[in-house]
Amino acid sequence: MFISTKALPRRTVLRGLGAAIGLPFLEAMVPAAFGAQAAAPVRRFLAFYVPNGMAMQFWTPEGEGRDFALSPILEPLSPFRDQMLVMTGINANWNYIHAGASGSFLTGTARGGRNEIEIVADTSIDQMLARRFAGETQLGSLEMSMDVPANAGACTGILSCVYTHTLSWRSATQPLPMEWNPRAVFERLFGDSGSTDPEVRSARLAQHESILDSVNDKLRNLRNELGAGDRVKIDEYADAVRDVERRIERAEQQADAELPVIEQPRGAPPEFEDHLELMLELQRLAFQADLTRVISFMIGKEQSARPYPQIGVPEAHHPLSHHNDVPDVVGKMSRINRYHVELFAGHLDRLRATPDGDGSLLDHMIVLYGSGISNSTRHSGDNLPLLLVGGGSGQLRGGRHLTFRNEPTIANMLMAVMDKMGHPVDRVGGSDGILPLDV
């Protein structure tokens, strides 16, 4: 261990030409004189949203409390059973087909807009947490999606597309766009300018220089001051950043030789899994370097029509979700639901394998996974498919299936998440209490 009475600052940043590289947690950031007290872990939050509801008969576990059996959809999460809390019986506060699903998932709002131009919900908990952590991290939060945003027009019923394309609301009337382009996310995390303007990105790319290359000398000097364990961490982290940068560059070369002059240029790999892997790795790096502690992510927007031929489901997701309880169609829906869980489990595995203080990233996180619709063929807002995963820095007790029979709302569950994150609030959306998670 690197021993020093003067610790390396936790928010150490190596600055180069247009670059600002945050560092992962290192032993050198904890002076021996302060011991474990100085190494107290931070808490992090991730919302992982899946669209178009769930094949509920394949989602809900059998049994309650600690005596429960994972369902076919949830079975890929068996390695995380001890850090998983499945919740059954929670209802939506606002359920207007697909708009209310994603619109109330993190806001718990009791109502939304009533036409295409009225945009109203409530402040989402990721933005409440972002304000709480804003002074401690480079970015208050990240909002990410796998789909190009649509912030105008009507997408569901007569309501604005905003509702189906974001989870995050800075205020009741200020929805935040979700970023789909991995280059823009990478620049926001590691670019010194913080700009997503295509001309700024073009200028950086014209330098033909890796962000890491611009801080190589500083990295080399830092390594000379660190212990063996910290040098390994620095090397692994730098390799991961460089790998992501190269993969983004390859994707951009495949998409277009030149960056188009639009706010968010094409830069995502053409294959869904390649795009997703990049977005999830950027999340992991952001958490690892403590660049942000709050991320909201949509693996698909509501009404997503993405097909999944790679798992034998070539039909579009949204039309398939209106299965009318036809067994064969419900079976295909459940395969999509399980596939999403498999991809999610892979992300959890990487978070658990990433050291963070006295544990892993997953040990110090609360991850909310689920959808704002249950039975999708009826756009049902009852008995939402929801679970929490992670250690919550000792605040989240997993290994259980909780069934609530008093019809609590998702807003009450969000109140409980805020409490577990160490930031209790008086109200979230239409809450009328706090959901008991320690029963």
**Residues 424, 418 contacting (CB under 8 angstroms):** yes
User: Residue 244: what pLDDT?
Assistant: 77
How many domains does the chain divide into? 2
Token duo for residue 327: 């067994």
Spell out the residues 6+ positions from residue 394 whose beta carbon is closer than 8 angstroms to its own.
none
User: Is the same domain home to 348 and 410?
Assistant: yes
CA distance 32 to 286: 27
Q: How many CB atoms lie within 10 A of CB 63?
A: 11
Domain-located, residue 230: yes
User: Do 300 and 420 belong to one domain?
Assistant: yes
In a domain, 275, yes or no: no
With beta carbons less than 8 A apart as the criterion, state whether 402 and 379 touch: no
Q: Which residues contact 78 (CB under 8 A, 6 or more apart)?
A: 70
Same domain, 117 and 167: yes
pLDDT number for residue 254: 58
The whole-model pTM stands at 0.86
Task: Specify the pLDDT at position 265.
Answer: 40
Say if 7 falls within a structural domain: yes
Measured distance CA(92)–CA(75) in Å, rounded: 25
Please indicate, yes or no, whether residues 124 and 47 belong to a single structural domain of this protein: yes
CA separation for the pair 142, 127 (Å, rounded): 10
Please check whether residue 387 is in contact with residue 85, taking contact to mean a CB–CB distance below 8 angstroms: yes
Residue at 434 is within a domain = yes
> Mapping DSSP to helix (H, G, I), strand (E, B) and coil, where does residue 45 land?
strand
Q: Residue 234 domain-assigned?
A: yes
- The residue behind tokens 């808490």 is 43
The predicted structure's pLDDT at residue 213: 72
pLDDT the model gives residue 12: 66
| 359 shares a domain with 226 | no
Same domain, 412 and 300: yes
Mind listing the pLDDT tens digit of every residue in the chain (439 residues)?
Answer: 333 445 667 666 666 555 666 777 777 776 544 444 445 678 999 999 999 999 999 999 999 999 999 999 999 999 999 999 999 999 999 999 899 999 999 999 999 988 888 999 999 999 999 999 988 888 899 999 999 987 667 788 889 999 999 999 999 999 999 999 998 898 888 875 444 555 555 555 555 456 667 667 777 777 777 888 788 877 877 777 777 777 777 776 655 544 434 333 446 888 999 999 999 999 999 999 898 999 999 999 999 999 999 999 999 999 999 999 999 999 999 999 999 999 999 999 999 999 998 899 999 999 999 999 999 899 999 999 999 999 999 999 999 999 999 999 999 999 999 999 999 999 999 999 999 999 8
- 75 and 115 fall within a common domain: yes
Q: Give the CA angle between residues 275, 168, 318 to the nearest 5°.
A: 55
Q: Tell whether the torsion through CA atoms of 144, 49, 303 and 326 is positive or negative.
A: positive
Which one, of 344, 180, 326, lies nearest residue 265 by Cα?
180
Same domain, 361 and 260: no
Asked if residue 273 is part of any domain, the answer here is: no
Within a domain: 34: no
Domain-embedded: residue 286: no
Q: Is residue 1 domain-shared with residue 90, that is, in the same domain?
A: no
Q: Are residue 199 and residue 70 in the same domain, yes or no?
A: no
Read off φ and ψ for residue 85, nearest 5 degrees: -120, 105
pLDDT at 347: 98
Q: What is the pLDDT of residue 37?
A: 46
Q: Do 381 and 102 touch, CB atoms closer than 8 A?
A: no
| CB neighbour class for 13 (10 Å; exposed up to 12, middle 13-18, buried from 19) | middle
What is residue 218's predicted lDDT score, i.e. its pLDDT? 74
Tokens in use for 147? 């789909």
Query: Which residues span the domain enclosing 62?
Result: 41-134+141-180+294-439
Same domain, 208 and 245: yes
Query: What is the DSSP-derived secondary structure letter of residue 213?
Result: G
Taking each helix axis as running N to C, give the angle between helix 228-255 and helix 272-288, from 0 to 180 degrees, rounded to the nearest 10: 150
The neighbour count for residue 61, using CB atoms within 10 Å, is 17
Handedness of CA 209, 231, 140, 145 (dihedral sign): positive
Claim to verify: residue 90 and residue 163 sit in the same structural domain: yes
- CATH number reported for the structural domain that contains residue 312 in this entry: 3.40.720
Tell me whether strands 365-370 and 359-360 are parallel, antiparallel or unpaired.
unpaired
Answer for the pair 414, 106: CB distance below 8 angstroms, yes or no. yes
